Amino acid sequence: FPKKGTIAVGSDADIVVWDPRSTTTLSAKTHHMRVDYNPYEGRKVRGKASTVLSRGEVIVEKDTFLGRKGRGRFIKRGSPILQQ
């Protein structure tokens, strides 16, 4: 069975529920990264993630980050496709 692209037992359950009608203003103050800038600061955009599931666990719900520190996994990158 594929690990990606399928919603099934044993597959990765990374799912984003997208609200195409919602609007938001991008800002470094509201993103969840360890940087204090956003190259798109102040830009208004349409559409945003309303719910995010990672490995079957809700980690974002209604603009609130619910994830736990340390729950991520290191994924070693493979060789670039052109070098194989």
Between vectors from CA 34 to CA 33 and to CA 39, what angle results, nearest 5°?
65
Per-residue pLDDT of the chain (84 residues; tens, 9 = 90+): 677 778 888 887 789 999 999 999 999 998 877 889 999 999 999 999 999 998 888 999 988 889 888 888 887 888 877 765
Could you tell me the CATH number of the domain that includes residue 17? Answer: 2.30.40.10
Q: Give the pairing type, strands 64-65 and 57-61.
A: antiparallel
Let me know if residue 81 belongs to a domain. no
Q: What is this structure's pTM?
A: 0.68
Number of domains in the chain: 1
Let me know if residue 61 belongs to a domain. no
Q: For residue 47, which of 17, 83, 9 has the smallest C-alpha distance?
A: 17
Let me know if residue 30 belongs to a domain. yes
The domain in which residue 2 lies consists of 1-56
Let me know if residue 9 belongs to a domain. yes
